[in-house]
Amino acid sequence: MHELMNTTKEVFGKIEKNGEQGQAAKNQAQENLKYDFWLASLLYIDSRKRIRVSEMCGSAQAVYELKEETLKNMYLFTDTELQYLLESRKKDLNRIWECFLAKNMRLIPYSSRAYPDKLTHIAQPPYAIFCKGAMPDARKSVGIVGARMCSEYGRSIATKLGKLLADKDVQVISGMALGIDSASHAGALQGKGSTFAVLGCGCDVCYPKNARNLYENIQSSGGGILSEYPPGTEPMPYRFPERNRIISALSDCLVVVEAKKKSGSLITADAALEQGKDVYAVPGRFGDALSEGCNALIGQGAGIIYDLDIFLENLGYLPEKEAETTKIKNISLAKTEQLVYCCLDLHPKHINYIIEETGLDLLTVLRDLGNLKRYRLVQETFQNYFSKSI
């Protein structure tokens, strides 16, 4: 009995010791993250320099504790950068860290096993990613970007593409900007899939402000809000081109839906090409300002998306065919319906144009458009404007 009691004490003693060691390791990990947070917040020092100095010293904490002379003798920072770093150490890091912990977000530094592998292969990986919600995983992912002031046609394509991808468990990556970005996120949410927004501000800053519902829904639906910028960082014009490289890096391929000649979406496309990613563009009409960027990309060799089913088939994700989406070849159209359908394309046409092109009277055109809408071959993009369905 005495031996049994001794054995029991020994077992519980080991459990208690292991528990203490586990707690100590957890505390140390939190302490390490605090210093990673400090280094991640030094935005005016190139992220590559921050990664390098952390690796050279073994940890961000070691960098924080280095003497000024030692830092200077590393010949890694300019005088301005060094002064900036030294000034940052005068702030109350413990207080700032506690404020961060209260914001219910995560910090994933470059050294973490949770850091996305796709980001490690780009020329300028972020030192860390701040995240609200989930992070993209190893599943296939597609980036969708485009114009903020998009057309209804572009919005509908982005929404439909986002939904089709989500239906096939493909992650949708974008920037939550007005227009195409928001539409692609919204489509992914309709498809009950995961979508991730990479912001050009802190991930605790909802930008644009009127996207609050989308911002919350992305997080509550298994997706996440990501940023390389620390909490509270306000959106500035120069930050959006910086974040674009992260959108393209997290994506297996990139789709540009609508873009003007000097659109920021083309910066994302350039980043994708530099990273060795395939770029696709939705073609548009010659002379249409919102199509100039996409048409230029196609002229430079980008893939052409002329049919969403074929695009998904090329990715290995052919959507399921449903009875109501049967293509025209499986539908017997009346002669006048064929005339109406053939005078349309993917760009909205006013009903007066259809009447003029077909030579049919108003009542016949209205009847045929109604039938074509029921067949899901035609859509009314806005009042009295019609286009072929994608």
Domain 324-388 fold: Arc Repressor Mutant, subunit A (1.10.10)
Kind and range of the H or E element at 63? helix 60-65
| pTM passes above 0.75 | yes
Strands (E), 222-270: 224-227, 253-256
CA distance 22 to 10: 18
Tally the residues of the chain: 390
CA 120, 220, 265, 179: dihedral to nearest 10 degrees?
180
Instruction: Report how far Cα 160 is from the mean position of its chain's Cα atoms.
Output: 16
CA distance 47 to 244: 15
The domains of the chain are located at: 2-102, 141-196+234-320, 324-388
Could you tell me the sign of the dihedral formed by the alpha carbons of 6, 11, 12, 13, in that order? Answer: positive
Could you tell me the sign of the dihedral formed by the alpha carbons of 369, 256, 199, 207, in that order? Answer: negative
pLDDT band (50, 70, 90) for residue 383:
confident
Q: The tokens of 203 are what?
A: 């991930």
Would you state the CATH architecture of domain 141-196+234-320?
3-Layer(aba) Sandwich (3.40)
Q: The tokens of 6 are what?
A: 């001794």
Phi, psi dihedrals of residue 144, rounded to the nearest 5°: -130, 120
pLDDT tens per residue, range 65-96: 999 999 999 999 999 999 999 999 999 999 99
pLDDT tens per residue, range 344-357: 887 889 999 999 88
pLDDT tens per residue, range 12-71: 565 565 666 667 667 777 899 999 999 999 999 999 999 999 999 999 999 999 999 999
- Which residue did the predictor score with more confidence, 287 or 71? 71
Give the angle subtended at the CA of 209 by the CAs of 205 and 210, to the nearest 5°. Answer: 145
For residues 276-305, average pLDDT = 92
CA distance 198 to 175: 5
